[in-house]
Chains A and B, each alone.
Chain A
Amino acid sequence: MIWLTWRQQRLEIVIAGAVMTLVSVFLLTTGSDMASAYRHMGVSVCLAHDASPAACQNLADAFQKRFSSVTDIITWLNFLPLVLGVLFSAPFVLDLEQGTYRLAWTQSVTRQRWLTVKLILIMAAATFAALCLTVLMTWWNTPLDHLGSRLNRSQFDFEGTVPVAYTVFAAALCLAAGSLLRRTVPAIGITLVGYLAARVGMETFVGYGYLPPVTKHVPFSSAAGEPSPPARADFFINATASIPKGIMRTCFGGSLNPPPPGSTAAQHVQACFAQHGVFASVIYQPANRFWFFQGTESAILLVPAGALLALAVWSIRYRVT
Chain B
Amino acid sequence: MTPAVQTIALGKRYGRTWALRDCSLTLPAGRVAALVGPNGAGKTTLLQLITGLNDSTTGDVRIFGWSPREQPTMVLPRLGFLAQERPLFKGFTVGEMLTMGRKLNPRWDDSLARTRLSRLDIPHNRKVGRLSGGQQAQVALVMALAKRPEMLLLDEPVAALDPLARREFLQALLEATVDDGLTVLLSSHIIGDLERVCDYLIILSASRVILAGDIEHVVQRHKLLVGPRQETEAIAHLHNVVQATYTERQTTLMVRTNGHIWDPSWQVHAVSLEEIVLAYLGHPSTHEPTVFLEHSDEEVLA
Contact = CB atoms under 8 A, between A and B. Distances in A.
Contacts of A101: 87
B251 to A, nearest CB: 46
Contacts of A112: 72
A257 to B, nearest CB: 74
A108 B76 contact: yes
Interface stretch (A3-11, A124-132, A209-217, A219-227): A3-11
A108 B107 contact: yes
B120 interface: no
Contact of A108 (B53, B77, B99): B77
A76 interface: no
Interface in B134-155: 143, 147
B292 interface: no
Sort chain B's interface into a size bin. 20 to 34
Contact of A99 (B80, B83, B96, B147): B83
Contacts of B89: 7-8, 100, 103
A92 to B, nearest CB: 14
Contact of A106 (B76, B91, B107): B76
A321 interface: yes
Interface in A58-105: 98-105
A108 B148 CA distance: 11
A109 interface: yes
A4 B87 contact: no
A108 B87 contact: no
A108 B106 contact: yes
Interface in A1-35: 1, 3-4, 7-8, 11
A109 B53 contact: no
Given A1-B103, A105-B53, A108-B105, A7 B96 contact: yes
A105 to B, nearest CB: 6
A102 B53 contact: yes
Contacts of A107: 76, 100-101, 104-105, 147
A110 interface: yes
A110 B105 CA distance: 11
Contact of B81 (A7, A106, A109): A106
Residues of A contacting B: mostly? helix
Query: B77, B87, B90: which has the most chain A beta carbons within 10 Å?
Result: B87
Contacts of B51: 105-106
A110 B92 CA distance: 22
Nearest to B54: A321
Contacts of B85: 99
A105 B96 CA distance: 17
A4 B100 contact: yes
Nearest to B14: A321
A318 interface: yes
A3 B99 contact: yes
A104 B104 contact: yes
A102 B83 contact: yes
Contacts of A98: 87, 90
A111 to B, nearest CB: 7
Contacts of A1: 103-104
Contacts of B90: 98
B57 to A, nearest CB: 12
Contact of A7 (B92, B107, B143): B92
A100 B87 contact: yes
A106 B79 contact: yes
A102 B87 contact: yes
B53 A106 contact: yes
B197 interface: no
B261 to A, nearest CB: 47
A4 B54 CA distance: 23
Contacts of B104: 1, 4, 104, 107-109
Nearest to B104: A107
A3 B92 CA distance: 12
B168 interface: no
A321 B48 contact: yes
Contacts of B73: 108, 110
B216 interface: no
B55 interface: yes
Interface string B29-60: 00000000000000000001001111100000
A318 B55 CA distance: 8
Contacts of B52: 111
Contacts of A104: 104
Contacts of A8: 89
Contacts of A103: 83, 87-89, 143
9 contacts: A4-B100, A8-B89, A100-B87, A102-B81, A103-B87, A107-B76, A108-B76, A108-B104, A108-B106
Given A1-B103, A98-B90, 19 more contacts: A1-B104, A3-B99, A4-B104, A7-B99, A8-B89, A100-B88, A101-B87, A103-B87, A106-B51, A106-B76, A106-B81, A107-B101, A107-B104, A108-B147, A109-B76, A109-B104, A110-B76, A111-B52, A111-B72
* Closest 5 pairs between A and B when the two form their complex, measured CB to CB: A107-B104, A106-B81, A321-B54, A108-B77, A108-B105
